Structure 1
């Protein structure tokens, strides 16, 4: 049996799933195909197969992703699906996890929508940094839409019901068709040129993706972005989302909702003004009562009743304070003078010339100490040297020879210590204190021990 380690099915499947999940090409794919084996689960999840003439792939679209779909998928329907490819570990098969689905007939528009959305997002068109706040109580409102559609009726009705004192101007534009995008952009530019509006509302009623497409055009997005007047976008129904909604300063789900966001309810404003009036009257009454009471206390005060006596007391107090001020000033001057004298003394001690003199004095003292120490050390060393020389002299052979002794060497300059070191006829050298004698051995006599 082979000794190689075996993988479990679970481990192998997990490894394959990680390889799928790490592949960036599989994280976002657009797939075109035909739906088959469609099944809608009771929890809202959709299970189906996408196929073409040569292959098929199992797919799932969870309830959170299909909640706002505008059509119901059916078997045999051609669709465009955006999602990611991964592995379902329980069955060990790869499948498509759909995030978005559109009928194939309008797929090109959705691709164009996504492409423009990414482009403008990278350029900062959707950033909150550039969003303008809406005025709390606009007095002049411009409505940029078709003058004959249902949207303008809803907007005017809501504005008149909530805030009838607002002045509303309709700027008629095309909201559908080939020239609609340019018409909407021109209407926004005209409103800015007029320069009398506090707020703009642009939008239209519901419709298909093709009907709403002018609000997905780049020219409209740029006109909204460069507008100096805050804009509310109100395109279609709540589930309809356009490029204009992302760029506008505020998005409303419907034209009616846009009118509600644009103005407050006049009855609420009136009620608020009444409350402010009541609070203002109460505040004025309380302030008046407080001031009257304060005036009565002042009228009864000692200063108000006897001003001359108070003046005399204040003059005496002034004299006392003046004397105290003089004493404190004298004490302060004296303290500052003492402080100045002390600082001058310290400054003199720290003066470079003083420090130099002190350094010279320390140097001379150090020199004298060194000379004295060197002399004492020298004397001690000389005495020790003489002692060592005396001891060395006592051990020197020269001293011994001065007392009549001599040293005898053979011809090899080896010291002769015994008669056994020579024989008759050998030449020897005899060292005496003042020289050397060359001799020859003529006789040998060994002394008894």
Structure 2
């Protein structure tokens, strides 16, 4: 909790401190800015477990993204004219420096803070299997949990158990109740497979005489979950195995950001859109806008807009991907594809609600039908709206996917985005996309 508060609070307090030092007051506009800053930066990611260089890199990278968005908004709304350039510059420089110092202080103080939480929690794990060993290793590596793994309880014969010297087997399940009475045990994790349902019920009945906290670790958590979490339906507990990250408030935040950002971009680039449209019309025969069927949210077909960059407009059961030196690409189209300018009409798709600014890139329907048979989890990427840019694209998997391995890597990054989504991640992807557009990126033909 302390770690998640450090960076947002430093961001706000440095801003307040500079205004108190220079003006002896904190203007109302700065209070509002502080609320916005805190909202988009809390909770901050875990950094004190990383090395100093990586921690500094992460702090500075995150700060650059946040500062860019804040300054852009202040410039557009003319709020930036209310404050001196020296004060703004001081805030931009001081904030990451103080954040790094604060995180280092928290890192130095963490042993004492953890010690104040009390002695290590003696822990038992029921079930010496894959998920039990994975849980034990994770608990042991988590320095901040203060966990002492006493060992495992398991009914199977030793020759049927995974080989490990790290943790002892203390007995069978029938001996567990007696062991708890003679030893101090704070936590007990049940990692038996769900097929052992009768054994689990009997064991839980036997454990009613213990004061240890009991946790059940179902074996589904060893699988590759997407937004896996526990919730309830009218009091009945349920576990989500595959879910969209954009539920409830998160969905409102995502859609609001999409509308505001796409409106801002479309207004800003409207002259560029007109110039490109005129160029496409004058340099080659055919429509200005190329409309292609793609899969959108929940695998439903949508029409996606692009500036036409080829002499063909394929949208049938077979679609040939663009390749290097593709003869179908027009001279202007080559430039548009290299700079991603051909994607600009998709901001209209975002306003329509068909797409998002950030998300997995939509593929042609023909490609979807091909790859869903070849790549495990391929269709899971359709749990969210497709995006103009995505996590895979800013990590080098943009453009042609001429091998199955390249498409698998793209899907890997798409699913990683679904697991780890946050407003900060979206801002990072947008910032990296803008940078890669400026410097150029290989892979787009």
Asked if TM exceeds 0.5, the reply is no
What TM bracket, shorter-length normalisation? under 0.3
Higher strand share: 1
- More relative contact order in 1 or in 2 (CA 8 Å, sep 6+)? 2
